[in-house]
Amino acid sequence: MGLFRTRTAAVFGIDAHLIDVEVDLYPSGSARDFITVGMPDVAVRESRERIKSALMNSGFGYPAKAVTINLAPANVRKEGAGFDLPMALGILGATGALKVSDHHAFAGELSLDGTLRPVRGALSMAVCARKSGLRYLVVPKENAPEAAVVEGIRVLGVRHLAEAVAALRSPDEFSAEYPAGDADGMDSIPDFADVRGQTTAKRACEVAAAGGHNVLLVGPPGSGKTMLARRLAGILPPLDFAEALETTQIHSVAGQLAPGAGLLRRLPFRSPHHTVSDAGLIGGGSGMPRPGEASLAHNGVLFLDELPEFARNVLEQLRQPLEEGAVSIARTSGTMRFPARFMLIAAMNPCPCGYFGDPGRECRCTGAIIQRYLGKISGPLLDRIDLHVEVPAVPYKELRANDAGVTSEGMRERVLAARARQQARGFYNATLPPAQVRPFCQLDDAGERTLELAMRKMGLSARAHDRLLKVARTIADLDCAERVQSKHLAEAIQYRSLDRSYWG
């Protein structure tokens, strides 16, 4: 008997870091016969009761010794119940029941009877174990499919502490075959053909999807704003492997993966309620910060319905991810960075009653009420939304027409072709760096005059100037044009005029 070491991983942000679990036994006699050091949180300190019961109920017994467990490095906070399994195996190893192995890492929460419960961040742990040169990662069975998408490491899913011991002794006897992940799910997304009328709004959605631009839909209740937003994911390109891996990693850390889920292939579509807090939208919370809705929408769509109903301070938190594609959360223990590059689709009524400017219904709101309602959305936030689109009430004839108009399939083909042209340039238009805007968005003389007039009359900012050119570049890509023409710029300007009608 003596010092025994196992290994695990602790998640910080969406990344994991290797942790050494050192266990030492010594003669009992102290009132504290089970000590955990190395900055453990409450859940880690409480593991001693779970570990004792699990060892006893699994038939291994518990040593008549005092136990000291060190989680190294000691200057990093350890959080969560995923340390239960490596700590229990460390105790067994210190008693001589197991041999030391430097090729394994373990993670899992123990029940009192020895069964294992899933943990957060198994995919990040697998990435960490592979980078550290380990050969095996032992996790609860429910976590195995997500961890198994990482190549170069053998993931063993176990249901019980006794199985984990067997995996340590004879790892090759355990199956490591798990589902590759779900399908892209495009067939389950509703079709744009279901939306009657709204030709202009559909065109705007196609432009937004083609370039990855943000969209604001403004119109009365029942005009189809939510229907348009929920169909937009169906015309976006599917996730490639790197995007799917990063998306799955974020959902794994947040505890949003279904039990037994593998690699996520579906585009994230997040639609938080307007009562969401700033921590719920951006990330954070007490203890170790967790990803918020903005990060859970990474590589997908974040839909904010009834935009003015969100608290203004919550909406202002979106400025950083809309500009940088990431969220930075500072704590005394350090700064964590969560990816958050998403398409923002926002929808709102033009006034509290919803009928301001509607020719068929009378608005009951006064000018002061309307301005107070619209004032909940700041100018800097509007500036970061590329397309502002009016979605009017659908006339009866269009509502009853047999012709469905454009379909998601046709729109998706055009979007994929436009995205392919952007990939050849190295950037999607929405993420085009400032230094690349002028080379890729060159205008002819007519376009220069049109842009100058729009800038002067609409009072656009420098940021709006660049975003206007990026949208025009996307429209040109949809038109298979090499250069941005004045007609492309005119359409892009049209998508920036609505906010001047309401907020001007």
For residue 142, the Cα-to-chain-centroid distance in whole angstroms is: 21
Residue 498 lies in a domain: no
Domain enclosing residue 230, as ranges: 186-425
- Give the CATH number for residue 105: 3.30.230.10
Give the gyration radius of the chain's Cα atoms: 28
Q: Which amino acid is at 499?
A: D
Contacts of residue 184, Cβ cutoff 8 Å, sequence gap at least 6: 238, 239, 265, 266, 267
- Give the CATH number for residue 395: 3.40.50.300
Q: What is the pLDDT, as a whole number, of residue 207?
A: 97
Are both 193 and 319 inside the same structural domain? yes
**114 vs 106: CA distance, rounded Å:** 15
Residue 483 lies in a domain: no
Q: Which of 146, 173, 200 is the last residue of a domain?
A: 173
380: nearest Cα among 329, 320, 340:
320
Are both 101 and 222 inside the same structural domain? no
Q: How many CB atoms lie within 10 A of CB 361?
A: 14
The three-state secondary structure class of 443 is coil
Are both 238 and 168 inside the same structural domain? no
Farthest CA pair distance, the chain? 89
Helices (H) and strands (E) in the chain, counts: 22, 18
Are both 351 and 417 inside the same structural domain? yes
**322 vs 338: CA distance, rounded Å:** 13
Are both 169 and 284 inside the same structural domain? no
Residue 470 lies in a domain: no
Are both 76 and 125 inside the same structural domain? yes
Residue 484 lies in a domain: no
Are both 165 and 37 inside the same structural domain? yes
Residue 439 lies in a domain: no
Q: Which stretch of DSSP H or E encloses residue 218?
A: strand 215-218
Are both 261 and 339 inside the same structural domain? yes
Q: Are 106 and 74 within 8 A, CB to CB?
A: no
Our count of domains for the chain comes to 2
Q: Which of 406, 425, 444 is the last residue of a domain?
A: 425
Residues of the chain with pLDDT under 70: 1-2, 29-32, 100, 175-187, 333, 404, 499-501, 503-504
For residue 98, the Cα-to-chain-centroid distance in whole angstroms is: 40
**387 vs 317: CA distance, rounded Å:** 20
Q: Tell me the per-residue pLDDT of 468-498, one tens digit each, with 9 for 90 and over.
A: 999 999 999 999 999 999 999 999 999 988 7
The three-state secondary structure class of 454 is helix
The three-state secondary structure class of 430 is helix
Alpha-carbon dihedral sign for residues 159, 164, 166, 168 = positive
Q: What is the pLDDT, as a whole number, of residue 176?
A: 63
232: nearest Cα among 479, 406, 473, 398:
406
Are both 159 and 219 inside the same structural domain? no
Q: 276 is written with which tokens?
A: 């969401």
Q: How many CB atoms lie within 10 A of CB 358?
A: 19
Q: Which residue has the tokens 């926002």?
A: 346
Q: Which residue has the tokens 């003015």?
A: 308
Alpha-carbon dihedral sign for residues 172, 174, 179, 181 = negative
Q: What is the pLDDT, as a whole number, of residue 175?
A: 66
Q: Which amino acid is at 166?
A: A
Residue 463 lies in a domain: no
Count CA atoms within 13 Å of residue 256 on its CB side. 19
Are both 129 and 201 inside the same structural domain? no
Q: Which of 138, 173, 208 is the last residue of a domain?
A: 173
Residue 179 lies in a domain: no
CA angle 335, 431, 244 (to 5 degrees): 70
Are both 101 and 15 inside the same structural domain? yes
Are both 165 and 249 inside the same structural domain? no
Alpha-carbon dihedral sign for residues 475, 234, 323, 436 = negative
The 10 Å CB-count burial string (b at 16+, else e) for 219-238 is bbeebbbbbbbbbbbbbbbe
Q: 23 is written with which tokens?
A: 């266990």
For residue 208, the Cα-to-chain-centroid distance in whole angstroms is: 19
Residue 476 lies in a domain: no
**34 vs 43: CA distance, rounded Å:** 15
pTM, to two decimals: 0.89
